[in-house]
Amino acid sequence: MAADKDAGTPRVFLARHGQTEWTINGRWTGSTADLPLTQFGESQISSSAQQLVGPGKLIDPEDLALVFVSPMQRARKTYELMFEPATRESLRAKVDFTKDLVEWGHGDYEGLSTTEIKQLREQRSLNAKDFDVFKHGCEGGESPEQVTERVDKLIMKIRELHAPNMHGENEACNVLLIAHGHILQAFTRRWLGYSMGFPLSAMLEPGGIAILSYQHHNIKEPAFLLGMALP
């Protein structure tokens, strides 16, 4: 068991893929533009993995029960960079490259900046000033209700795994998600029991890792793990 898991409460690690060309210039990258990582994006993942992934570290492969990965190449490459080939082989049966983690379908907004999206919405007589993808969705893309449906399916699978293991009964009970900025924020909202449009201001940088868990070893008290004591 990794040294930081003294409480034994199961965790869900959220890993955002590294930088792409569209990350640099602020263009919305959804489910249609399958962009590769930049060289810097690969170094972001390698650096995070060196510090946080491995035996006895925050993300210990032996403690993972499931690994959900978006099938888009920027997420797949992130998975490959996070784990050595031998570790990927040992995890093979636990990995699910699932469409439920594909980035939010941005539709007409794909490839646009936030400013350009607001301009487009204004031209179409839609709310532009207070536009929020988590409230309004994307024209020609996915609605908040559609995204809610697919992340809720994942949460249900994870809770079924975690429910009988809230006190560390099974050491290999953690879950890792490797995906994209908007879908991981959406997942976090639903994990905490909020509606998709709840005004939760959250950030996850490219190559970053976030942690979700539970309070009081209680499956009914899902929480955002803001910080931990290091060994």
> Which residue, among 201, 214, 205, has the nearest Cα to 173 in the 3D structure?
214
CATH class of 12-224: alpha beta
Strand partners, 223: 213
d(CA 36, CA 25): 15
Tell me if the pTM is above 0.75.
yes
3-class DSSP state of 97: strand
User: In the numeric block, which tokens belong to residue 199?
Assistant: 């005004």
Question: Letter for the amino acid at 75?
Answer: A
Write out pLDDT tens, residues 171-199. 799 999 999 999 999 999 999 999 999 99
Write out pLDDT tens, residues 97-150. 999 999 999 999 999 999 999 999 999 999 999 999 999 999 999 999 999 999
**CB count, 10 Å around CB of 52?**
15
Q: ∠ CA 195-196-201 to the nearest 5 degrees?
A: 105
* CA 80 from centroid of its chain's CA atoms: 16
